[in-house]
Amino acid sequence: MGKKTNIALTVGAASVVAWAASKAVVKSVPREYKKALDFEKPVILAHRGGSLEAPENTMAAFAKAAALGVHGFAIDVRLTKDEQIIVFHDEYADNTTDITGKIADLTWSELEKADAAYSFTDKEGKHSYRGTGEKILLLQELLAQFPHMLININLKDSPDTYEGSLMSSKLWRLIEQIGAEERVVVTSTYDEQTDRFNLYAQNRIATGAGKEEVKKAFAAYTSKLGHLYNPSVDLFLIPIKLGIFPLGVEGFINFLAQLNVPIYFKIEDDTDTFIKLLNAGAAGFVTDQPTLAMAILQENTNE
N- to C-terminal Cα separation, the chain: 64
pLDDT exceeds cutoff 60 at 11: no
DSSP state of 289: -
- C-alpha span between 252 and 250 (Å, rounded): 6
- What is the three-class DSSP state of 40? coil
For 231, the 3-state DSSP assignment is coil
Q: Which residues contact 291 (CB under 8 A, 6 or more apart)?
A: 50, 53, 68
Residue 149 to residue 141: CA distance in whole angstroms: 13
Task: Give the mean pLDDT of 173-178.
Answer: 97
Q: Is the pLDDT of residue 13 over 60?
A: no
- Per-residue model confidence (pLDDT) at position 124: 66
Give the pLDDT confidence score for residue 303 in this predicted structure. Answer: 57
Whether the predicted pLDDT of 226 surpasses 90? no
Query: What is the model's pLDDT at position 19?
Result: 40
- Is residue 5's pLDDT more than 70? no
Torsion of CA 124, 126, 130, 135, to 10 degrees: -50
Quote the pLDDT of residue 111: 97
Tally the C-alpha atoms within 13 A of residue 284's C-alpha that lie toward its C-beta.
25
Q: pLDDT at residue 262 above 50?
A: yes
Check residue 16 and give its pLDDT.
41
> Using alpha carbons only, what angle is made at residue 58 by residues 297 and 140, rounded to the nearest 5 degrees?
100
What is the pTM (predicted TM-score) of this model? 0.89
Query: Using CA atoms, how far apart are residues 44 and 48, in angstroms rounded to an integer?
Result: 12
Task: Write down the pLDDT at residue 242.
Answer: 85
> In a 10 Å sphere around its CB, with 0-12 CB exposed, 13-18 middle and 19+ buried, how is residue 28 labelled?
middle
Neighbours of 215 (CB within 10 A): 15
What pLDDT sits at residue 14? 41
Q: Cα–Cα distance between 98 and 82 in angstroms, integer?
A: 20
Question: How many C-beta atoms lie closer than 10 Å to residue 261's C-beta?
Answer: 23
Q: Is the pLDDT of residue 298 over 70?
A: yes
Query: How far is 197 from 194, CA to CA, in rounded Å?
Result: 5
Give the pLDDT score at 103.
97
> Under the phi-then-psi rule, with left for phi > 0, alpha for psi from -120 to 50, and beta for the rest, what region is 48?
left
Percent of the chain with pLDDT over 70: 89
Return the top range by mean pLDDT from 14-18, 89-93, 243-247, 268-272. 89-93
- On the CB side of 11, CA atoms within 13 Å amount to 6
Residue 1 banded pLDDT, cuts 50, 70, 90? low
Does the pLDDT of residue 18 top 80, yes or no?
no
Residue 87 banded pLDDT, cuts 50, 70, 90: very high
Q: Which domains does the chain have, with CATH numbers?
A: 30-91+142-300 (3.20.20.190)
Query: 25: which residues sit within 8 A by CB, 6+ positions away?
Result: none
The pLDDT of 241-263, averaged and rounded, is 94
